[in-house]
Every structure is written in C-alpha cells, then in structure tokens.
Structure 1
Amino acid sequence: MYWRAAAWIGIYLLLVLAPQAVLLLGEVPPGRDFWWNFSISLGFAGMAMMGVQFALTARVRRITAPFGIDIIYLFHRYLAWIALALVWAHFAILWVGYEEALGPTIDPREAPWELTAGRAALVLFTLAVVTSEWRKQLRLEYGLWRYAHVAFATLGFAAAVAHILGIGYFTAAPPKRALWLSVTLVWVLLLVWVRVARPWSEKRHPWRVVEVQPERNDTWTLAVEPVGHSGLKGFMPGQFAWLTLRASPFGLREHPFSIASAPEDLPRIEFGIKALGDFTGRIGEIRPGETAYVDAPYGIFSIDRNRDAAGFVGIVGGVGVTPMMSMLRSMAARGDRRPVWLFYGNKSGEAVAFREELGCLRERLDLHLVHILEQPPQDWRGETGYVSRDLLERHLPAELRTRLHHFLCGPAPMTAAAEEALHALGVPAHRIQTEVFEFA
C-alpha cells in the first residue's frame, strides 16, 4: 500500500510540474530576466495545482485508496492555499518589478482582455479558498457554499486558461499550445466526470428511505435500501458515504456520513446522523418512502484493513461512535472474538447514543466499554473528564498496546489529546488511525 501512495504522490508532482515543460521547450522570449521567468513559472505551477484540485475531489477510488478520502480532502484544502500563494506571488513579482506588463489600467473596458482574465482568475480563486476556509464564520449555508465554490473554481479555471493562452509568452508556438491544451483537456474531463458523469450514475441507481429512528442525544438512525440495483459493492465496516436527500444528485446537496450498519446487513445500509446543522437538523422530517442517492463506499477507517491486529481500540466522542458501531456490529455478525476497548466520551449519560445496543454487544463480543462523561451524575463511578494518558493506561493492557489497532474519531481536541496519550504509552504511529471528523 505504501508504494501505491508513493506512486500517486509522484504522479501528482508530475502533473504539477508538467506545464513547466513549456518553459524548457524552445527559446525563452528575449529581454526577460530571471525574476520575470520565475514569476511566469510560479503562475504555471499555481495554475497546474488548481487544475489538479479537480482530481483530488473526483473521488477516484484508485487515488483515494492508499490515503483515505478524508486525508485527500484535507490535502485539497491545504494545497489550495499553496496554489493560491503561488499565483499571488506570480502577480506580485510583476506588480513590483514589471508594472508595465500589467497594462496601463485595470478597467476591464479598456484593459487587454487577457490581462482582465488573469485578474478575474486571481479574484475567483481567492474567493473559492477564502469562502471555504471561513465558511462558518461567514455564515454561508452549506448548499449555497457548494454552489458558490463550484462556480468560483470553474470560472476561475476558465479565466486562467484564457489568460495563459491570450498572453502567449510561452504558448504561442504550436507544440507548446498543443501541450497546454492537452493538459487543460484532462482537467476539463475531470470536471465533467465530477459534475456530470458521476451524478448521472447516481441518478440511475436510486435508494429508498425505509426507516427513520430517533436515538439518544439528537441522533437519528436513517436506513435506506437500493431500488432496482444490488446496492453497495466492496463495503468494509467503518467506511462512509455521500448521502443526498430531497434533492437531485446534480444539485450539490450531498453530505458525508459514516455508515453505521455492517456489511453483513447489506443491501440495507444505516447512517447515524446527529441533528446539528442546516441539513442534519431536519433529518427527523424525512419519511420512509422518500428517494435518496448514495455515493459509496469510501474511506480506509476499517478493521478489514487491519486483519493482523490482535484486537482493537476505539476512542470516540459523540456521533464519532458511528463508524465503530459498524465495526462492532460486523464483528458480532462474524463471531470475531478479538478484544475491543471502546472509550466513548459524552457530556452526560443521557447523551450516549446507541447506549442500549452497546450494552447488548458486550454479551456477544469481548468488548470492554469505557464511558467517559464530562458532566456525570452524583452516583457515577466510571471515568470522568477527558481522554488522558492515565485513563488509557488504567484500561489498556501493557502487553497488548503495540499489537492493537487504535481508531480515533471525534472532535479535533479529543483526537489530538488521544494521539498524544497513545504516543506517550509507546503505541507505534502505524497503529493509530484518526478519522477526520469534518472535512466537507
């Protein structure tokens, strides 16, 4: 698996650096010094990275498999900032040292169209990144943000291509123009796949809501079954899906949720959804019989990828228990008797989702269930507060720690504290796996 990850990283670097080949083919325009050429190179690199961003969100399983799609989306987020910095540096160098290259005016009615296109691309890319990074602070509703993000990214990409071809410093020669257009075509095909082909496939494979069941702590179990097709293939316990309800798959209204049910329950799948935001707050309004669309399965957060483990540890908070429910249900269905320690953090005992089922699973599994409450009742005799090294040390047998696989899922402060505690206990890094709790 590591060699596959290294191979995809190499392909990414090749795609980003490939456009630089236009700088090496043929002669450089005369009268241009190092900083001029360096600025142009930064522009090409930034544009290439922006183009590859489409590939990172295309959900191509061969690409995501070695890393996990949550990590891919995290890369997408940080690489967007790097790409934006490169294109801004491209502009800044020209502005400081070659102001004449930017034209006599920024008025689009008078400025050359290719320069206007470049400025438009810069603004659109900036809006795409800024509104994504601070969506909640800007109070952008998720659906509105998705539409805006797609519009900013797509229009920015088109404007940047127009700018590069219009300027023509390094793309005027037919071979160079053909090279750049070929690279651009690949990016366009990726965009078509993401926004047209995949939604079309989902539209042809609908699902039907068959149950909406309230759980504790404003959590709902929503179950769906396939309509006219066989359902999921290759699903491993702990993976997640993009779910669309009361909207078309073309409508950019999909949301990622962990699958709570086990592969042994297929074709039916269940989601554990906490009522928190604009979309999830209305889950209780969904009725059986409604149409749903599912794009799945995704993720590498699964016991099936760690078959050599002597047992498992789950350190979860709140609705972060959902992927662990999938794994525990699957182990029970399979008769898997490997030991499992589940550290489950919640504010109070009443906030423990799936509390009764977890109690039943203790009878079917070698499950050591440790509830951690922030606000325990007066007669509480269990663990309180937060995950710490001392807490884990009291429950995890020292002789097994390096042979157990540890799954972490919950709010970032909780998983960060758990990672630090496990490292302090000598657990190797490859035995600690953290699910990014929110990445969309």
Structure 2
Amino acid sequence: MTQKKILWAIFYLVLMLLPVLMGEWAAHAAELERRPWLDEWASGLGMIGFALVLLSFFLLGRFKPLSGLLGSDLLMQTHQLFARTAVLLLLLHPFFYTLWYTPPGPVAASTDQALRIGSGSWGLVTGLLALGCLLVLVASAILRQRSDAPYERWRLMHSALALAVLGFGLHHTLVSGRYAQFTAVAATWWALAGLALLSWLWVYLVHPLWQGAHPYRIEKLERCADRIWLLEVAPRSPGSAQFRAGQLAWLKLGQRWPHRDNPFSISNAPDAGGRVQFLIKEAGDMTRGLARQAVGNVAYLDGPHGRFEIPTDATAVVMHAGGIGVAPFVSLLAAAVARQDRRPLRLIYADKNHEQMVNVVALSGAGALADFALLPMVEQPDADWTGLTGRLDAHGLATVLEHPAVAPLTDTACHLVCGPEPMMDAVETALVARGVSTARVVSEHFKYDFSGRSPLARRMRRAWWSLSAASLLGLLLALAWR
C-alpha cells in the first residue's frame, strides 16, 4: 500500500471516530455519570455508523482535487464498502441497549433519560425511518449491479433516499443521542451533516447550474465500430477545465438534469482548446440514444475526475484493454505521442469479435511512437482474422505474455488494466501469480463489489475489514479511557 493510501486510511479512520472522541471528551470534562457498558457500546456503534453515512456523501461529491489525488477508483470503493459497515453498525446498535434486558414494567426515569427515546419523542421514529431508507438504498445499489434496471431512475431514487437518510438520521442523532446534549458534539454532527448536504447540493444543484453557463457543443459524432461511437465535444466559451490523459468525465446530452449524467473515460490527449473525445458503447438508456444526437447539439460535462495514468518512473508499459475499456488507453497513447515518449509501450486489446474493435492506431496516432506494438485478440475470429485468438483470461494472458513483443517486458513493465470485471480480475490474478508486484499493476474499475478474487481486490477488502475493526477498537479504547 502506498504512503498516500496509508495516510488516506488514517484520515478516514479519524473521521469515523470523531463524534465518539468528541463525545467522550465532553462527557469526561462534564464528569457525566457513566451508563452501563452495553449502553455506551451501543451508542458508540450508532455514532460510528452515522458518521460513515455522512462521509459517504463527501466521497461522491466529485471534488476534483480529491479524485485527482486519490483516483475515482479508491473513492468509489471506499464509498461502497463502508456503506456496508454503516448498515451493519446501525442495525446492531439498538440491540445492545440494556433497556431490552430490563424486567417488564414502567421504564425508570434514569433509563428514559439515558436513552432519550421516551414515549413523547420523535427520535425513535426518525431513527427507524433513517434505517429503513438506508437499507433500501444499499440493497437497491447492490441489486442494480446484477440487473438491467434503468440507471437514471435508480440514480434519482438513490439521491432522494440519501437525502432522507441524512435528514432523518440527523434528527434522530440530535434528539436521541445522549452526547448530542453537549455543544461540541452537536456542533460536530452539524458540521459533518452540513458538509454532506453541501456535497449533495454541489452534485445535484450547484454544478448543474454552473454547467448551464458553460455548455459544450457536439462537434463530431460518428460510428467507429459495431455499437461504438466516437463523440467529440468542444466548449462554447473559454475557460473549460483542462484534463490529464486517462481521466474521466460525467456527460449529459441535451439537458441538465443531474441524475441523467453518465461517466465515460476521455479518449483524446489534453487539448489546449478544451476539445474532449469519448468512445461510447451502446449499452444503457443514454448510450442507445446516441444515434438520435446531431452535430451542434448541446452537451454538459462534469470533470475531469480520476487518476488513471502511466507512472512517471515506469521503464516500460503493457496495457491490457477489454472491450470499451480501451478508451482511456487511446487517451494515454495520444498523450504519449504528443510528448514523444520513447519508452516501450504495448497494448493488448481483446474483444468478442473484430467488428466491435476501434482503430486504436488511427485514433491515437500511436504509429508515430518510437517503440509501440498493438496485439489484438478476439474470441470469435472470422476467416480473415490474423491476430491472436481467445479470451483475455488466465490462459489467454499467458499466451500473450509469451509473445515476442511482450515477453521481454512482462516482468519489469508497469501493467495498466481496464475492461469488464471478469477480465480485469483474471488479468490481475495472473500477473501477480507470475511475480509482477502489485505496485506495478494499475487498474481502472467500473464496478466495485465482492466478486473480485484478484490479489488487488482481496487487498482492498482486507483494508476495509481492518479499518472497520480499527474503528471498533478505537471505540473500546475511548470507552476505557473515561
């Protein structure tokens, strides 16, 4: 794990524990009477869980400095994995309260005051509403990855549920939380909730308004392979954001509704005039409507974001592209041409058939590079096919890595991987099994879940488990301190 990621993990852990630490400090300063240990543990679980919910807003706030520093990959994985931690902690925390284990009868005044969810309080109601909305939100996000549910409808529901969780959860925390009676703790919750709300407003209100004042125009729209379109847009006015090769942008065509943008990798080299190209595959609601667009139509961009790039210290580069995952590599190769890169650059480009493959050399100008080779591979070759045959899985990759153009570079090169999840998982696993260091495997994922079995995917899940466990250890230490 790089130093940058270690610092990010420590910073995130501190933010997870911040409300707990503030609560324990305030209670110690006020010499607040200690409740039963289980009540304190239950309260701490709830505080960590809700802090994670609020932090998740900021992760998806599309703040360019953050995504440019850490990469959209890491931010999205943090968001999706720790959403599960939040759900688990928030589901469990009510059941640790000793109220469940008291004999039947009137509730003691001390217990009622400690829990602050008496019969006349709305705190319990809003807590249940927040938890219900959160369960639906997380479950729908997980299930959407396994279905063909309309993306735009899901985005709209996801954003509305997130806002409901924020509102109901904050009310429950301030009304029912014992430590929220302290000004410092209440201020911490208001600050975290305020940042979360600002992140939501930035994505769904402020930035769409800014985009309306800085529109783009479709300059080119042409089919460059079966179901693959080349879309080029240019700003209508100066002042457009400059991007780095390999970054992505969220794109909207013809309208500014915030839930109707989709992320696409940029496929051209940085352009002084702000011109941006995308390679887009017909797959969802928005992409299937590309044929109805026309040159001159308006487009809106949110970007650039992400950090998928060739390390500056790489002596050689092998790129592994599957399907439309070739788009960022076209950008990286075009940028390499612009800077006259003389390092060995290899592109392994796999797809189901040749008709779905774009002309990488023509789009990027890679033919002008000093040391470049393209190795196309198809699963279903036709009679005229002369390239490699097979899938880019463990077996296919082993064949490619023995190719004379790649074999001398395999063990020392930096490997960049982008494509469908099964292909990426297989390539990452095979490379590490061959002895390639994980530090020299750079990936750009589009889906984040538990299906990945590569060393990189397992390492990310270990980091998630470790940080989740560290938050519980931090809670134990905070409770033991007072």
Fold-level similarity (TM above 0.5): yes
Look up the match of 2:204. 195
Distance 2:33 2:364 in 1: 77
Residue 285 of structure 1: CA displacement? 1.2
For 1:285 and 1:252, locate their aligned partners in 2 and report how far apart those are by CA, in whole Å.
20
Consecutive unaligned residues in structure 2, runs of 5 or more: 113-118, 450-482
Aligned length: 431
**Which one has more relative contact order, counting CA pairs under 8 Å at least 6 apart?**
2
CA distances 1:393-429 after superposition (whole Å, capped 9, x unpaired): 2345555334422111101111111112222332222
- Bigger drift between 215-224 and 62-71 goes to 62-71
Q: Sort the Cα spacing of 1:185 and 1:143 in 2 relative to 1 into closer, same or farther, 3 A.
A: same
Q: Does 1:277 align with 2:277?
A: no
Which segment is superposed worse, 44-53 or 200-209? 200-209
The answer for unaligned runs of 5 or more in structure 1 is: 104-109
| CA distance, structure 1, for counterparts of residue 398 and residue 102 of structure 2 | 57
Once the two structures are TM-superposed, the CA of residue 111 in structure 1 deviates from its matched residue by: 7.0
What pairs with 1:23-42 in structure 2 (closer than 5 Å)? Answer: 23-26=24-27, 32-42=35-45
Counterpart for residue 18 of structure 1: 18
The answer (yes or no) to whether the contact 2:214–2:235 under 8 Å persists in 1 is yes
**Partner letter of residue 11 of structure 1?**
F
User: Matched residues in 2 for 1:337 and 1:98: separation?
Assistant: 75
Are the equivalent residues in 2 in contact too, given 1:312–1:406 (CA < 8 A)? yes
Q: Would you say the 8 A contact 2:334–2:365 is kept in 1? A: no
SS at match of 1:237: coil
Deviations 1:176-204 (A, max 9, x none): 43443344333333333333333332222
What is the aligned partner in structure 2 of residue 221 from structure 1? 230
Amino acid across the alignment from 1:272: L
Cα deviation, residue 380, structure 1:
3.6
97 and 199 in structure 1: CA distance in 2 versus 1, 3 angstrom threshold: farther
How large is the RMSD of aligned CA atoms in angstroms?
2.8
**2:444 aligned to which of 426, 435, 439:** 435
Aligned partner (choices 47, 60, 63) of residue 60 of structure 1: 63
User: Of residues 290, 297, 300 in structure 2, which corresponds to 1:290?
Assistant: 297
1:243 to 251, 255, 259: 251
CA positional deviation for 1:281: 0.9
More displaced 10-residue stretch of structure 1: 363-372 or 78-87: 363-372
Output aligned runs, 1:108-257, within 5 Å: 112-137=121-146, 139-233=148-242, 235-248=243-256, 250-257=257-264
Q: The residue matched to 2:155 in structure 1 has which SS? A: helix
- Give the conservation status (yes or no) of the 8 Å contact 1:259–1:271: yes
Per-residue Cα deviation, 1:23-44 (whole angstroms, up to 9, x for no partner): 3422687583111211111001
Q: Do the aligned residues in 2 keep the contact of 1:275 with 1:281 (CA within 8 Å)?
A: yes
CA contact (8 A) 2:229 2:279 kept: yes
In structure 2, the CA distance between the partners of 1:169 and 1:274, relative to structure 1 (3 Å rule), is same
With normalisation by structure 2, the TM-score equals: 0.82
Query: CA 1:80–1:395 in 2, change beyond 3 Å: closer, same or farther?
Result: farther
Q: Specify the code of the residue in structure 2 equivalent to 1:278.
A: D
Query: Which residue does 1:9 correspond to in 2?
Result: 9
Cα gap change, 1:390 to 1:154, in 2 (>3 Å): same
**Whole-angstrom distance in 2 between the partners of 1:232 and 1:6:** 29
User: Relative to structure 1, is the Cα distance of residues 251 and 179 closer, same or farther in structure 2, using a 3 angstrom cutoff?
Assistant: closer
Conserved? CA contact 1:419–1:432, under 8 Å = yes
Partner of 1:83: 86
Mapped to 2, the partners of 1:354 and 1:96 lie a distance apart of 66
Of stretches 371-380 and 73-82 in structure 1, the one that deviates more from structure 2 is 371-380
Deviations for 1:228-275, whole angstroms, at most 9, x for unmatched residues?
123232x21111111111221x53211100111111474211100000
Q: Is the 8 A contact 2:341 2:369 kept in 1?
A: no
Q: Residue 299 of structure 2: SS of its match in structure 1?
A: strand
Q: Give CA-to-partner distance per residue, 1:358-383, whole Å, 9 cap, x none.
A: 79733555221111111112454432
Q: Is 320-329 or 9-18 further displaced after alignment?
A: 9-18
Partner SS, residue 310 of structure 1: coil
In 2, distance between residues paired with 1:196 and 1:355? 37
Quick check: 2:26–2:182 contact (8 Å CA) kept in 1? no
Q: Which secondary structure does the structure 2 equivalent of 1:47 belong to?
A: helix
Q: How far does residue 144 in structure 1 lie from its aligned partner after superposition? A: 1.2
| 3-state SS in 1 of match to 2:144 | coil
3-state DSSP of counterpart to 1:230: coil
Match status 1:341 vs 2:346: yes
Whether the 8 Å contact between 2:218 and 2:234 is mirrored in structure 1 is yes
Partners of 2:133 and 2:204 in 1: how far apart? 19
Deviations 1:139-159 (A, max 9, x none): 531111111111111111111
> Which residue, out of 372, 375, 384, partners 1:370?
375
Give the Cα separation in 2 of the matches to 1:399 and 1:438: 32
Instruction: Measure how far apart 1:310 and its partner are.
Output: 2.0
Alignment match, 1:328:
333
Cα distance 1:260–1:365, how it changes in 2: closer, same or farther (>3 A)? farther
Give the residue type in structure 1 aligned to 2:24: L
The letter for the 2-side match of 1:19 is P
